[in-house]
Amino acid sequence: MAEVSNVGLNIAEKSTVIWNVADMLRGPFKPHEYGLVILPMTVIKRFNDCLMPTHEKVLEAYEKVKHLAVIDGFLTRASGYQFYNTSKFTFDTLVSDPENIEANFKDYLAGFSSNVQDILAKFEFDNVIKRMVESNTLYLVIKEFNSKKGYLGADKVSAVDCGYIFEDLVRRFNESYGEEAGAHFTSRDIIYLMTDLLLCDAKLGGNMTVYDMTMGTSQMLSCMEERIHALDSEIEVTCFGQEFNPSTYAIAKADMMIRGGDPNNMRFGDTLSEDKFDGYTFDRIISNPPFGIDWKREQKAVEAEAKLGEHGRFAPGLPKISDGQQLFVLNGLKKLADDGRMAIVQNGSPLFSGDAGSGPSEIRRYILENDWLDCIIQLSTDQFMNTGISTYIWVFSKDKPSYRIGRVQLIDASHCYEPRRKSIGTKRNDITDLCRELIVKAYGEFEEGIYGEKDGIYCESKIFDTVEFGYNKIVVERPLRDENGKVVLKKGKPVADSNLRDTENVPLDEDIDTYFRREVLPYAPDAWIDKTKTKVGYEIPMTRYFYEYQKPESSDDILSRIINLEDEIANSLKSLFGKEN
Q: Is residue 279 part of a domain?
A: yes
For 204-254, the pLDDT digits (tens) are 778 999 999 999 888 899 889 989 998 888 899 999 999 998 888 998 898
197, 346: one domain: yes
Q: Is residue 440 part of a domain?
A: no
pLDDT at 423 over 80: no
Could you tell me the residue range of the domain that residue 580 belongs to? Answer: 554-581
For 116, 154, 441, the CA distances from 111, given in Å and listed in that order, are 10, 21, 52
| CATH number of the domain to which 375 belongs | 3.40.50.150
pLDDT at 410 over 50: yes
pLDDT at 185 over 70: no
pLDDT at 183 over 70: no
Q: Is residue 6 part of a domain?
A: no
529, 561: one domain: no
Note the pLDDT of residue 102: 96
Which of 171, 205, 238 represents a domain boundary (last residue)?
171
117, 215: one domain: no
For 115, 126, 147, the CA distances from 167, given in Å and listed in that order, are 20, 23, 21
Rounded Cα gap, residues 418 and 6, in angstroms: 31
Q: Is residue 429 part of a domain?
A: no
Q: Is residue 434 part of a domain?
A: no
Q: Which residues, other chains included, contact 47 with Cβ-Cβ below 8 Å and sequence gap of 6+?
A: 83, 85, 112, 116, 257
The pTM (predicted TM-score) of the whole model is 0.86
pLDDT at 9 over 70: no
233, 335: one domain: yes
Q: Which residues, other chains included, contact 288 with Cβ-Cβ below 8 Å and sequence gap of 6+?
A: 186, 190, 214, 216, 220, 344, 345
Which of 155, 171, 187 represents a domain boundary (last residue)?
171
194, 54: one domain: no
Q: Is residue 453 part of a domain?
A: no
Rounded Cα gap, residues 154 and 542, in angstroms: 49
24, 150: one domain: yes
243, 285: one domain: yes
DSSP state of 554: P
DSSP state of 427: E
Rounded Cα gap, residues 258 and 108, in angstroms: 19
For 82-117, the pLDDT digits (tens) are 899 999 999 999 999 999 999 999 999 999 999 999
For 425-466, the pLDDT digits (tens) are 778 899 999 999 999 999 999 999 999 987 789 999 999 999
Q: Is residue 418 part of a domain?
A: no
Q: Is residue 267 part of a domain?
A: yes
203, 151: one domain: no
267, 136: one domain: no
Note the pLDDT of residue 5: 42
245, 356: one domain: yes
Which of 138, 171, 204 represents a domain boundary (last residue)?
171
71, 187: one domain: no
184, 152: one domain: no
For 368-405, the pLDDT digits (tens) are 999 999 999 999 988 877 677 889 999 999 999 999 99
Number of domains in the chain: 4
